[in-house]
Amino acid sequence: MNPYQYRAPPVGIELVPRPLKMRLTVRSLSGNSGSHGRHGTLSQLLGVSTGIFLGFILTAAIRHLMLKPHMCLSLRNVPIYDDKNDAYRIIGFDISKDTHNSAKNLLFVGVMTADKYLDTRAKAVYETWGKQLPGKIAFFSSETSTTNVDIPLIRLRGVDDSYPPQKKSFMMIKYMAEHFADHFEFFMRADDDIYVRPDKLELFLRSVNSTKAHFIGQAGKGNQEEFGHLSLKMDENFCMGGPGVIMSRSTLLQVAPHVRDCLKNLWSTHEDVEVGRCVRKYAKVPCTWSYEMQSILYHNSSGTEAFTGPLKQREVHRAITLHPIKNHTHLYRLHSYIQGLNIRSSEAELVHFVRELTKTSEEAGLPVPHLDNPSSGIYLNHLGTDVTLQKWVADSEEEVLYWDFVSKAAFQPGSANPRHKPTSGMTEGLADVIRDVMEIINRVSKERGRVIDFKEVLYGYIRWHPTLALEYILDMLLLYKKYRGKKMTVPVRRHAYLQIPFGPLYIREYESAGIDETLESPSGIHELVEVVVKGSINDLSKLHYQIPSAAFPRTQMKPKKIHFILPLAGRFKTFQRFMDDFQRVCLEGEENVRLVVVSFRPSPGEDDTTEDVEALISSLQLDYPHTVMTVLQANTTFARALALELGTGQCQDNDLMFFIDVDMTFTSSTLDRIRLHTIKGYQIYYPIVFSEFDPKFARKGDSEDNYDHSMINEEVGYWRTFGYGIVAMYKSELQVAGGLDTSILGWGGEDVDLFEKVLKSGIRIFRSADPGLVHVFHRVDCDRNLESSQYQMCQGTRYSTYGASQSLVKTILKNPEILAYKRANP
């Protein structure tokens, strides 16, 4: 082993997949800050037990299979029975199951709803968390409720949908006690605008003794105005209804016989306050006085706005129930977000198992079991490697991975911009990491009588290995607050070494029939494969990936026709060069294309060559009658936007258009890429073109007019990342985006305008370097009459095409008279 090999810091912390071990170096800022280089004033080794999520996912899945099809009495005019068997049938209950022989008899959830919400909120609840419960669910509504939606609906006799729903609430308690008390341990009263995480709720309830009287909820005493008007004594409370209230069986049985009494003695108009009063009186228990309940049963006070924004929040991750979700569409959204979290937890669990297995096998001197199964695309063995920043060992210079440095700004050696604002991806990734680190650090807060708050990241390093992991080194400023024993608050710095391994790659294949409606297959693309890349911490990112058309014989399907649209004003010599390319690639290559040249009057002072253009095209047309070539004459001063507009006027909605300029050269591989990346109704291709420098500087020795345009390196040109003029799209997308702004005259501006419109329209953009598209150098003379922003843009382009900085520097060094001239003429 190379003795100079990089040694990783002592131990790493590792993030989701949940950390197995972490050691943090802590240094007190207020203490000996002089010993900056010496770590380890205090180091902790935490064994963090990981979640039980996988178990739940599995049992949930098995249960799902075992779920009996339930029948539902929800159709119009079906009589209401109070018969127990009907109640069982409605909720799909198997009478032979009880709390001793089934894990699905833990909880019964009664959702209070109303006729007008059956088709929306109730349906959404039943289709999301309602089906994952360790128990059963039913929706309680007015006697006259009707719906065609398939939900377990119980219409309470003598109850209407009036507000406040006191009668509904009490009658639901009575119904639950009379019909289901023997079969479940806990009974939850829920609103129809709540989201419940059944796995977490199960974990919580299994730690509570249901034979004791419990009244679990978020304790309230009324808000400021109500305080004193609810007829509550100083030490009395109630469980707030919104985020969910849970009674143990014991509580339910003690309260149910008295609901009629309670209904007769209402002291307020608040349903939850009155239920609380009734429970206190007859079951002799208050609502749980626990501060924690606020985060476990989470209520957000933003009303209709709650849970409509970003969901990646500590509150959302922590809670067992979330309230209120007023718009049922957002319940599905929340559900899919939570499912994503669950998938990540179970993947983290998987990594944990693989690692344990690897470690114990090695310790026992046994071979590590083969977990990889290439034929089904499953690779797990690599997940078992050690948690260390030495996972990747470079063998040669090219393999060395660089760390990006991030503080207020980001410094990325691989980026064209040496110093820039951290990208939104970096910022979000960092926020994720920090949230998880803080969660880990504070998991043992209670035991240790301290809380640690996050203040800021002083700096961080980020490194990314495409197949192994994302790695972080963070220097964090934290606030250490000890509240037990000798109280103190000290700022501390902690270094965290983090590694986020990637999970396996999953590939799902779809038959092309399913996607044809939305995605027209442009050129022999027979299949669309969705590749789902799973990073363990970032959201699952989905990529639609098409098999390149080159993979299929051309004869199977004629490649999609590409409509070239070429604006032109004068510059006949350049046009001839363009047409040479067009002839070689498209005409002789028998490509399925069409050419529309939109020719304007040349700028003043240039020869009018419109006739030459027409003549050139006519003669080519004679030789190649199968390719349609058109010249449109516009008798106004040049405007690129107008030219494109006229050109697109020649196309239909279903046509694939390619906006190109006369300075470009292109290859047939570019045409393949256009067909590949331009997808109707879905995606536009914005290639980044390679822009040549002035060959006088960049290519000494080459003849100025005739040199090889396929050369791509940093001396002869650069990727024009700021240009958006060359683009391929279907005409329908141009219309969706809002079309071209024909009020923009001349060159420049219209491309940026269109690009911004496309961004706003939600159409996807595929932007990538296209090595076939080269912008041939020509001297730019910026017209003083241009509008000032266009003039600046033009000057910018002009200066950036002189040559590579290196060549310019060399030239200046070799020719000191340039500097001397500049000094004399500042």
Ligand X SMILES: *[C@@H]1O[C@H](CO)[C@@H](O)[C@H](O)[C@H]1NC(C)=O
**Residues near ligand X (CB under 6 A):** 209, 211-212, 300-302, 306-307, 309, 313, 316, 327, 329, 635
C-beta of residue 113 within 8 angstroms of C-beta of residue 122: yes
Q: Which C-beta is closer to ligand X: that of 332 or that of 821?
A: 332
The CB-of-433 to ligand X minimum distance in angstroms stands at 20
Q: Which C-beta is closer to ligand X: that of 302 or that of 806?
A: 302
* Bridge partners, residue 545, by sequence: 529
Strand arrangement, sheet containing 541-546: 506-510, 528-533, 541-546
The CB-of-418 to ligand X minimum distance in angstroms stands at 36
Q: Which C-beta is closer to ligand X: that of 717 or that of 746?
A: 746
The CB-of-242 to ligand X minimum distance in angstroms stands at 13
The CB-of-795 to ligand X minimum distance in angstroms stands at 30
Identity of the amino acid at 86: D
Q: Which residue has the tokens 């520097």?
A: 809
Strand-strand pairing, 683-692 and 562-569: unpaired
Q: Which C-beta is closer to ligand X: that of 310 or that of 365?
A: 310
Q: Can you tell me the distance from the alpha carbon of 356 to that of 20, in angstroms, rounded to the nearest whole number?
A: 10
Q: Which C-beta is closer to ligand X: that of 212 or that of 229?
A: 212
Dihedral angle, C-alpha 138, 139, 144, 145, nearest 10 °? -120
The CB-of-635 to ligand X minimum distance in angstroms stands at 4
The CB-of-317 to ligand X minimum distance in angstroms stands at 10
Q: Can you tell me the distance from the alpha carbon of 325 to that of 111, in angstroms, rounded to the nearest whole number?
A: 14
The CB-of-311 to ligand X minimum distance in angstroms stands at 6
The CB-of-327 to ligand X minimum distance in angstroms stands at 4
Q: Can you tell me the distance from the alpha carbon of 598 to that of 821, in angstroms, rounded to the nearest whole number?
A: 44
Q: Can you tell me the distance from the alpha carbon of 775 to that of 285, in angstroms, rounded to the nearest whole number?
A: 80
- Torsional sign, CA 268, 250, 219, 170: negative
Q: Which residue has the tokens 């080459």?
A: 702
Q: Which residue has the tokens 């002799």?
A: 284
Q: Which C-beta is closer to ligand X: that of 517 or that of 611?
A: 611
C-beta of residue 717 within 8 angstroms of C-beta of residue 800: no
Q: Which C-beta is closer to ligand X: that of 197 or that of 775?
A: 197
The CB-of-333 to ligand X minimum distance in angstroms stands at 8
Burial of residue 11 (number of CB atoms within 10 Å: 0-12, 13-18, 19+): middle
Identity of the amino acid at 16: V
Burial of residue 569 (number of CB atoms within 10 Å: 0-12, 13-18, 19+): buried
Looking only at Cα atoms, what is the longest distance across the chain?
Answer: 105
Q: Which C-beta is closer to ligand X: that of 325 or that of 410?
A: 325
Report CA-CA distances (Å) from 662 to 206, 567, 573, 608, 697.
Answer: 73, 7, 10, 17, 23
Q: Which C-beta is closer to ligand X: that of 242 or that of 522?
A: 242
Q: Which residue has the tokens 């683009």?
A: 727
Identity of the amino acid at 377: G
The CB-of-316 to ligand X minimum distance in angstroms stands at 5
The CB-of-281 to ligand X minimum distance in angstroms stands at 21
Q: Name every residue whose Cβ is closer than 8 Å to that of residue 246 and which is 6 or more positions away in sequence.
A: 107, 186, 187, 188, 189, 205, 214, 215, 216, 217
Q: Which C-beta is closer to ligand X: that of 184 or that of 582?
A: 184
Q: Which C-beta is closer to ligand X: that of 157 or that of 212?
A: 212
Q: Which C-beta is closer to ligand X: that of 105 or that of 678?
A: 105
The CB-of-693 to ligand X minimum distance in angstroms stands at 38
The separation between the first and the last C-alpha atoms of the chain, rounded to the nearest angstrom, is 59
DSSP 8-state code for residue 595: E
Which tokens in the block code for residue 472? 């972080």
The CB-of-294 to ligand X minimum distance in angstroms stands at 13
SS3 for 39-108, per residue?
A: CCCEEEEEECCCCCHHHHHHHHHHHHHHCCCCCCCCCCCCCCCCCHHHHHHHHCCCCCCCCCCCHHHCEE
Q: Which C-beta is closer to ligand X: that of 569 or that of 679?
A: 569
* Bridge partners, residue 462, by sequence: 404, 472
Q: Which C-beta is closer to ligand X: that of 313 or that of 592?
A: 313
DSSP 8-state code for residue 239: E
The CB-of-632 to ligand X minimum distance in angstroms stands at 13
Q: Which C-beta is closer to ligand X: that of 216 or that of 316?
A: 316
Quickly list DSSP for 711-723. Answer: --STTTEEE-TT-
SS3 for 642-664, per residue?
A: HHHHHHHCCCCCCCEEEECCCCE
The CB-of-295 to ligand X minimum distance in angstroms stands at 12
The CB-of-308 to ligand X minimum distance in angstroms stands at 7
Q: Which C-beta is closer to ligand X: that of 13 or that of 306?
A: 306
Q: Which C-beta is closer to ligand X: that of 333 or that of 534?
A: 333
The CB-of-599 to ligand X minimum distance in angstroms stands at 11
C-beta of residue 565 within 8 angstroms of C-beta of residue 659: yes
Q: Which C-beta is closer to ligand X: that of 317 or that of 463?
A: 317
The CB-of-246 to ligand X minimum distance in angstroms stands at 16
Quickly list DSSP for 545-564. Answer: EEPPGGGS-GGGSPPPPEEE
* Bridge partners, residue 493, by sequence: 27, 477
C-beta of residue 636 within 8 angstroms of C-beta of residue 642: yes
C-beta of residue 154 within 8 angstroms of C-beta of residue 181: no
Q: Name every residue whose Cβ is closer than 8 Å to that of residue 734 and which is 6 or more positions away in sequence.
A: 648, 657, 740
